[in-house]
Structure 1
C-alpha cells in the first residue's frame, strides 16, 4: 500500500511540474513567436482595422446609405469608408465646410467643422443619399 501511495504521489508531482513548466511566461521561444507574428491569437484585444488610427471614428457608406457613429467633436478628424461599388461624396449642403470624394472600396478623411452645430450633407452623385453631421 505504501508503495502504491508513493507511486501515485510521484506521478501527481511530475504532472504538476509539467503543467507549471508549460504555462510559464519565461519561455523565450513562445514569447519571441508571439511578438513576431506566430500562430497565437490575441483574443483579449478588441478588433480594429489596421488603417484606422486608435480613437478614430468613421462614416460608413453601404447600400447607398450613410451610417454615422454619433456626434463628433469640433475639428475632429473623420474617416469615410465606402463599402459600395460606386463612387460617393460627403458634401456639406451649404458652404464649403466639407466635401470629400471616396472611390469604391476606399477610405478618405476630412475634418468636421470647428464650431458646434448640425450640418446636412449629401452625395453629389446620388442626391437621394443624405445625412446629418452633429458636432457637439
Structure 2
C-alpha cells in the first residue's frame, strides 16, 4: 500500500513540474524603468476604459496612468510587441515600437477595454 501511495505522489509531482516548466516559457510583462517626459504622451485608464487614440514617434516613452482601483494592462493584439501591467491607481511606462504602424491594444484582465496606438 505504501508503494502505491508513493507512485501516486510521484505521478502528481511529475504532472505539476510539467505544468510549472511550461509556464516558464511565457515572456514576462514589460516593465520599463525609463521615465516619460513630463507633459508628454499619456495613456490614461479610467472608468474601465482607455483614453483616446494616441499618435507618437517610434521609440517614444509613453506614460500610462491608471486612475481605476484595479490592475490593468496595455497589451498589443500582435503578440509580443508590448505588454505593460499597471496596478490600481498606479503608473507605468510603455516604449512605443520602432516600426511605424497602427497597434491595437487591449487589457488582458478586461478584454472589452481596447485602444489604438499609432506610431509614425
Find 1:57's aligned residue among 41, 46, 60: 41
Higher relative contact order (CA 8 A, sep 6+): 2
User: For residue 81 of structure 1, what is the aligned residue in structure 2?
Assistant: 65
Find 2:102's aligned residue among 112, 118, 122: 118
**Rg bigger for which structure?**
1
Is 1:102 aligned to 2:102, yes or no? no
State the shift of 1:55 in Å. Answer: 4.8
What is the 5 A alignment of 1:1-136? 53-68=37-52, 70-136=54-120
RMSD: 1.7
How far apart, in 2, do the equivalents of 1:109 and 1:68 lie?
Answer: 17
Unmatched runs of 5 consecutive residues or more in structure 1: 1-50
SS of the residue 2:105 aligns to = strand
How many residues are matched? 86
Question: TM-score if structure 2 supplies the norm length?
Answer: 0.66
More strand by share: 2
Question: TM-score if structure 1 supplies the norm length?
Answer: 0.59
